Copies of this chain bind each other. A is one copy, B any other.
Amino acid sequence: MTVGIVGAGQLGRMMALAGYPLGLDFLFLDKDAKTPGGQVAPLLAGELTDRKLLGELASRCDVLTFDWENIPVEALEGLPGKARIAPPLRALAAAQDRLAEKRTFELLGIPTTRYASVNSRADLDAAIERIGLPGVLKTRRLGYDGKGQAVLRKPADVAAAWETLGKQPLLYENLVPFQAEVSVIGVRGRDGKVEFYPLNLNVHRAGILRLTRAPYGNSALTRTAQRAARRVMEHFDYVGVLTIEFFVTRGRLIANEMAPRVHNSGHWTIEGAETSQFENHVRAIAGLPLGSTRARGHSAMINLVGELPDRELLLAERGLHWHDYGKTPRPDRKLGHITLNESSARERDKAVIRVLRRVDRATWIAIR
């Protein structure tokens, strides 16, 4: 069985590395073979929206998936061949438009931020009037790692934010004063069976995820997050891995956004869970039984952003695992990650402090 993956970033690369032992073959579509995925599997070179290449990919594969949620849904619709697409395009469509995403959460009774669709300056003023300040103005589409967002704290911030973002459909929402950011990762098989990983506690800095620790949280919080993810997966008759990110505020979960794919906050599962999110995504879309999502000990994932630290120095740390995505360094680019795995949360947190101090001082200062 051949799995086609639209987008050959690090997520696709880790899917392929997890899927080879299952006896699956992989074929990527992305701009060139130097991409992280193109280094470990064959690749069709071209634009992710190239209908001819997408058609070829669909014809040569048994199932298609994607490692980036911003591929226009139209490009993936009505492809030739027998390949199924998973996760389903309806979920992809909802996840790539912040307005559709919020409406999905509302429809399914999942608490989320107060929000308003903004298509004009008048809309924005009305939204601020109704929802208040502080708030966040976001592009409805193509936002990731904090891009396409502006925080509005006072009336004087409005004009500049409108100037920068105002030429496209927007969403305004209240700024949630959160105590923590968490995410839940679930996976649903073709047979409708669902499994969940334990909650992830996430730390962002400048819009980019820096640190995840898992398992996190009490059982009530975990149950609430899993119930939300289950509703979303059942609503879309979902197949594959789904992630929802939440703010924790006064012990309650407020859904922030969802991703119809494996997620950066789940990278620790490669070493830290019985079956990784990548293997389970591939198992699900290939129609295989899901693997156990049980955590093994206590894990942390530290993103390596912008430049890679000294590999040799860090690999000398016991229980440290290194993941280099094979990318060219560039400011704010996710180049790899480190996983730490310990038998207790206390030991894990000590290792996190030790390693963060070396690889990400700003986050080290923020959390210590």
Contacts and interface: CB of A to CB of B under 8 A. Distances in A.
A21 interface: yes
Nearest to A291: B315
Interface in A287-332: 287-289, 291-292, 296, 308, 311-312, 315-316, 318-319, 321-324, 326
A319 B17 contact: no
A200 interface: no
Contacts of A21: 17, 321-324
Given A274-B319, A283-B315, A296-B296, A23 B289 contact: no
Given A292-B319, A341-B274, A311 B23 contact: yes
Instruction: Report copies per complex.
Output: 2
Interface string A1-29: 00000000000010001001111010000
A13 B17 CA distance: 11
Q: Which A-B residue pairs are the 6 nearest by beta carbons?
A: A23-B324, A289-B316, A21-B323, A289-B315, A292-B318, A288-B315
25 contacts: A13-B20, A17-B17, A17-B20, A20-B39, A20-B40, A20-B326, A21-B322, A21-B323, A21-B324, A22-B311, A22-B324, A23-B311, A23-B322, A25-B39, A40-B40, A274-B341, A283-B315, A287-B312, A288-B311, A288-B315, A289-B315, A289-B316, A291-B321, A292-B319, A296-B296
